[in-house]
Structure 1
Amino acid sequence: MSSTSTSTNTKGRTVGAGRAIALTIVYIVIYVIVSAITKYIIESLLPSFHIFAVKYEVYVQILLALAFGYLIVNGFSSIFYYSLLSKYGHPTAAAIRNVVRIIGIGALAASIAGAVAGGAAGVALGGFIGIVIGFATQQVLGQAVSGLFLLIARPFKINDNVNIVGEDGIVEDVATLFTTVVKADGTKVLVPNNLIIGNKIYLKQQQKS
């Protein structure tokens, strides 16, 4: 029964990874086709009917890039998720998926901003937007990366009795951004993961009932 369940889970992960790869490729192909058709319609077809909308083409292309870019980023993040799921489990795979998604969306925004400006100005603007996004997401990414280290290194596990950053209690959950510790009085403390990395972690013996 156990081997059958394991085989089913492995098959499901393989199917999920294959589906994510296929969807990502489909999104890329559809985006290229739709972008080319849009360019043809605006630059060649509409002018034949005395409709001139070339100056609006860039805005249409931006909307297409945003829509399909988001789908493509999600596809890549799903590929990472299913690729790591069997080795590291759901919490770590989901955390990596979220980090890839955040980085991908930031890169998408920076590249679109650079493309709109064009030339050297576009490169400068794209770099500037990237820096702004980097600073804006620094705290979140710092916590997410710290969460990945905790999930991979596993200095403590769920249900361990610990003292982290001065908080005594039982570990209830280790997520991407926070580790949840339940204190003796039932209070739940959400400890940011970036505070845990670099600080002492005390693993206490479980109290015997």
Structure 2
Amino acid sequence: MGAPPPPKHRRLDYGKSLLKILILVALASLSLSAVTVLFQWTDVEQLPQFLRPYSTFLLFASPYLRYFNAAIILVLGYLIVGEVGRIVYAYMRGFADHSSAATVQNVARIVGYGVLLAILASVFSVDPAAALTIGSFGGLVVGFATQTFMANALAGIFVLITRPFTFGDVVTISGNTGHVKEIRVMHLLIESEDGSKDILIPNSLVLSTIIMKKRPGVRMGPTLTTITIEQPASKAKIGDKLTFKGKLTETMSGKPLPSSPVNLYERDIGRDDLLVEGLTDAEGNYAIEWTAKKVDFFDDTAELYLRFIGDEEHRACNSKQFIIEVK
């Protein structure tokens, strides 16, 4: 039996998740205040009149006030960190695969648990010098144990956000040349030029070495060409299959261009990203299928166009640009 498929991504309602976090924070504040009011007393004379009937229990539990506070912080803090992790995962799944999004989610949770432990240390009034010593030693041990993992994970997050290359690009990294197949959090997956093997390159190496990116050849022939395209849908959900149809012809004669490369690109600042490669049929028609995904880190729109790169007899051309909202 093969490995189980990754869980199906379900769209998260960010508004409800943020509301849940605010409710948990408010509940934690109210619970801590209530526990402090009930168990802060050390003498019967200090108790308000409405609490004196319960003086025996309240005074018995008073020395354990910090433990009650710690339990509230631990339980509600755990829930808050978990909800933040779910938001991070859902956001990353907009433009990354399951394994990459899950890794970023784990990093966010580790940071959250570290903050939670620091708050718990303050509840128990740990001596600052002792806390610093323990924290420094613990950080040193954890740092040595996880330095490779953290270096690759952080580099992968940076690569996912900045996107110095994209799917289909031909890159050379540390002497390895191939087509970019997948950008993961820990590794970059490229396929060798002859298609015989996959190459995994650690992201820390990707970030620290020189990258040679092959620019698609553009040959200017004498004959003008035109790409027509049927108007696509203006909105799509992440994961939807969209098919772009149209025709590639010579501009003046209308003669179709068979077996010619027509590729789908996403327009971006400073560079255009290749999304899907296609080919025209014998009548010059093409049908390119694209799985909708988030292609821009800052918004939910994809500015797309089709491009014929040209050949020795025909000039390169672009289709009109169209915008699709992907959510």
Identify the residue that residue 189 of structure 2 maps to in structure 1: 180
Moved more, 88-97 or 155-164: 88-97
Identify the residue that residue 208 of structure 2 maps to in structure 1: 198
User: In the TM superposition, what is the alpha-carbon distance from 1:26 to its structure 2 partner?
Assistant: 0.7
Q: Distance in 1 between matches of 2:18 and 2:77?
A: 15
Q: Distance in 2 between matches of 1:42 and 1:125?
A: 32
Larger Rg belongs to: 2
After superposition, residues 14-163 of structure 1 pair within 5 angstroms as 16-40=13-37, 42=39, 48-49=56-57, 52-77=60-85, 89-91=94-96, 94=101, 98-121=106-129, 124=132, 127-128=135-136, 131-132=139-140, 135=143, 137-163=146-172
C-alpha contact (below 8 Å) 1:116/1:122 kept by paired residues:
no
Change (3 A) 1:109 1:121: same
C-alpha RMSD of matched pairs (Å): 4.1
Identity across matched positions, percent? 28
Q: By percentage of residues, which structure has more strand?
A: 2
Which AA in structure 2 matches 1:198? Answer: S
Report how many aligned residue pairs link the two structures.
192
User: Looking at both structures, which has the greater relative contact order when contacts are Cα pairs under 8 Å and sequence separation is at least 6?
Assistant: 1
Length-normalised TM-score, structure 1: 0.66
Moved more, 73-82 or 172-181: 73-82
Q: Distance in 1 between matches of 2:36 and 2:130?
A: 21
C-alpha contact (below 8 Å) 1:112/1:126 kept by paired residues:
no
Which AA in structure 2 matches 1:102? Answer: I
Q: Distance in 1 between matches of 2:168 and 2:202?
A: 18
Q: By percentage of residues, which structure has more helix?
A: 1
In structure 1, the gaps of 5 or more residues are 1-11
C-alpha distance after superposition, 1:38-79 (max 9, x if no partner)? 445555677523872444443343333222223223444555
Q: Distance in 1 between matches of 2:174 and 2:70?
A: 45
Change (3 A) 1:115 1:99: same
In structure 2, the gaps of 5 or more residues are 1-9, 42-50, 217-260, 262-278, 280-327
